[in-house]
A and B are shown apart, each in its own frame.
Chain A
């Protein structure tokens, strides 16, 4: 399934957050959205998934939804959004319970996604017993359980320490190698963007507009952290963002 953003603009009361965003998210590609803080990239992600309605423009979905897909547009949140009163398996089960599945089918899906995210040993654990990285793995397992057509990831690694982030990034790469999922990935971390993004969309500070779209052809599995080509791209992205970030930093938040 492809997503097409057409002339998206958005206001909160008087404040213009996004201006005329045109973007295609194509099947099997990871599109990274980067920009200075407060540029509306998380808002854009909420608009893409239908959690908010844009003031202008529209988000279109085209093409077939994959077979067995229960929730085409599925989020992974920065704060994991796990229910603390449910165990790992019950947190995954939560998003399956509203669908017409037999208990056995549900159980099979849960076992499958927990095995794929290496969580099989932690089925009965409560979120408070897990580290941040494990919690985000649970959230990823939960997202995979509904067989999404597009994953919408809102700074999924930002709440983690840098070692855990590195490990989970490898997991996301491995997962993509296996299943070529489609994703929109919001981050403020340029290194994550060049490691994961097939296309990197640079947004300007508020009101967010697309400043540039950078395509990286290198296969994800070849992207080591010490790759000079990637470093050059990262430097270029930083030069693009530097002034925007400086200016955004000096703005008052509660305009």
Chain B
């Protein structure tokens, strides 16, 4: 063995391991933690109500909220409320999203649309659509029209912005490649630009789904007989906090289902990533 290989065995310096300084900054999902937190919180809440340090006037016990929910199921009112809400959501959200993708694509592709529509979109996007609700009632009637229109407008703008943002970020080299092989304009849009913008469009859909649920409740608070929002409003004005909690839980559930569906769509459409 050469001297070089034994260099470290000098007599006066005791060997110690190099301190580890890497790792961290990479949170990983731990599947069982979330249910534990959830169950613990509800158990604590129920316990507090039973023992009495949470007054039933301030917050009803989870079991009472659950009873209220079961009552909804028994009377069959749940389906009336859900059907009304889901219908508004689906029509409003899908129309808003489709129109948003269409207009976003125009802004992403054509100079004229970009210069004409982009400032308009930027100006209207930050306006809370709830503020426009009275106007929508005048324009589209007090019935379904104004409710769907609120959701439609609310989801339209974020989708437009997500779509043209996605198109702007499509690799220019891919477009140049398409041109260099003599692909038609339509082919380039259909096969290169839109698939390239799809990840951004889908994350836009995630945001607009959440916005749709917020606006659904707001819209249903005006002159709606059925709907989760109407149910919550009624419960609130009767101080029936158990029903209110049940309604809110229902909204949260709807949001989770929506997010899961979009997650599935991402998994399917973006499996190439």
The residues of A with any CB-CB pair to B shorter than 8 Å are 49, 51, 70-71, 73-75, 77, 79, 81, 83-86, 94-95, 97-98, 126, 128, 142, 146
Check B173–A81 contact: CB distance below 8 A: yes
In the assembled complex, B181 has its CB within 8 A of some CB on chain A? yes
The residues of B with any CB-CB pair to A shorter than 8 Å are 171, 173-174, 176-177, 179-184, 187, 191-192, 195-196, 198, 270, 272-273
A14 to B184, CA, bound (A): 32
Check A83–B191 contact: CB distance below 8 A: yes
Q: A75-B180, A85-B195 are in contact. List 12 more A-B contacts (CB 8 A).
A: A49-B180, A71-B182, A74-B180, A79-B173, A81-B173, A81-B176, A83-B192, A85-B196, A85-B270, A95-B181, A98-B182, A128-B272
Check B173–A98 contact: CB distance below 8 A: no
Q: Which chain B residues border A74 with CB–CB below 8 Å? A: 180-181
Which residue from A51, A81, A94, A128 sits with its C-beta under 8 Å from B273? A128
A83 to B190, CA, bound (A): 13
Check B191–A71 contact: CB distance below 8 A: no
Chain A interface main SS type: loop
Q: Which chain A residues border B187 with CB–CB below 8 Å? A: 97-98
Chain B interface main SS type: helix
**Which chain B residue lies CB-closest to A126?**
B272
Total cross-chain contacts (CB, 8 A): 49
Tell me the minimal C-beta distance from A164 to chain B in angstroms: 20
Q: Which chain A residues border B181 with CB–CB below 8 Å? A: 71, 74, 94-95, 142, 146
Check B177–A81 contact: CB distance below 8 A: yes
Which residue from A75, A83, A98, A142 sits with its C-beta under 8 Å from B174? A83
Q: Which chain A residues border B184 with CB–CB below 8 Å? A: 98
A128 to B270, CA, bound (A): 13
Tell me the minimal C-beta distance from B159 to chain A in angstroms: 21
Tell me the minimal C-beta distance from B268 to chain A in angstroms: 12
**Chain A to chain B: the 8 pairs with minimum beta-carbon distance, closest first:** A81-B177, A95-B181, A85-B272, A75-B180, A85-B195, A126-B272, A81-B173, A71-B182
Q: List 13 A-B contacts (CB under 8 A).
A: A51-B176, A51-B179, A74-B181, A77-B173, A81-B174, A81-B176, A83-B174, A83-B195, A85-B195, A85-B198, A94-B183, A95-B181, A98-B187
Tell me the minimal C-beta distance from A85 to chain B in angstroms: 4
Tell me the minimal C-beta distance from B270 to chain A in angstroms: 8
Q: Which chain B residues border A79 with CB–CB below 8 Å? A: 173
Q: Which chain A residues border B196 with CB–CB below 8 Å? A: 85
Q: A81-B176, A84-B273, A85-B272 are in contact. Are A95 and B191 (CB under 8 A)?
A: no
